[in-house]
Structure 1
Amino acid sequence: MSDLTPNRQPGQPLEPIDAEKLSQLAEKNINNPEGGRKVIRTHTEADGKFRNYTRVRNLEPVLVSEPPALLGDDTAPNPTEIAQAGLAACISVGIQAIATHRGVTLTKIDIDIESDIDVSPTWGVGDLAEDKRPGVSDVRVKIDLEGDADRETLDQIQKDAIKWSPVVNTYTRPANLTSELV
């Protein structure tokens, strides 16, 4: 048992998602592609010393901060770490959905991600040379899957999850972003 996932027993099937509802959701979006287009809203408020609280839907606020090396108080993951956690979770959701759709029972989804980042541009007040790229440049994802399928099938499931992941596609095909002072 992992202290990260205390409800998961090694070798036991992961708690399944409803395969019938997954099929219904897919069919609904196939029949009405416009119905699958949604707007995601968040609201963030700064609390000082780089602490930011973000409300998503009606959930408890998510705290995002910075480590001491970046002048934060180390009370929470930083924005890049949160983005990386979102990337891993999105891949995991995709893996579980694809496995369910294909009749594969999974007993393990573990994802490790490392990314390279250059923090020398320091939020626009540091080194602003043309060759500087704020943000991650290289992302390495390692996926450990176990279930009642052969390695080739598990590999295809993870490859398809990567291909269809909204967050992977945000990393690899960035969205158009606008900003305005209101």
Structure 2
Amino acid sequence: MSDSASTVLSERGFRDALGFFATGVAIITAQVGDEKLGATVSSFNSVSLNPPLVLFSLTRTSFGIDKWKAASAFAISILDEEQISISNRFARAGGNKWSGLDVRHAGNGAPLPPGAIVHFEGRPYAVYDGGDHEIFVCEVTGYHIHHLKRQPLVFYSGKYRHLDRHDADQGPPLDNSWLHGW
């Protein structure tokens, strides 16, 4: 007997089903005028190596979506497993997410939250209609690896998770270089 289930498509059910795809957690940042923007996302992904492109999406009802679309530079900071509190801080709508933080800036001027494993710097490449989201594609202009030995924060089935350290060194077979679409 299988433990699988099939259901009628509903928004909540679809969201729950998507939650079975484990993702990393990132904070997207930008600065428009004097205002610093920041949002936690699990929708960050690579798109292309040449040119170097990545994407993230934000809901159309995001606070300040027009400011996000006006940004000329972005930073994408990948969080480590100890950064749940900063992930939650930037996941909330409104408020001053930057209050009390030691704010540094990427080479492109985008603000950086503290402690990320790596951050990518980029500029807008394209924005696409993604239904109830806007899909932002960015051209990566640089990146900086801050912490080689930290484990990433993972989001799975609506909860933060940690990687099993015993599996951390297992990679795909050497003869399958296209496993990740590259």
Structure with more helix by fraction:
1
Structure number with bigger Rg? 1
Q: Same fold (TM over 0.5)?
A: no
| TM superposition score category, shorter chain reference | under 0.3
With structure 2 as the length reference, what TM-score do the two structures score?
0.22
Q: Which has the higher contact order (CA 8 A, sep 6+)?
A: 2
What TM-score, normalized by structure 1, do the two folds share?
0.22
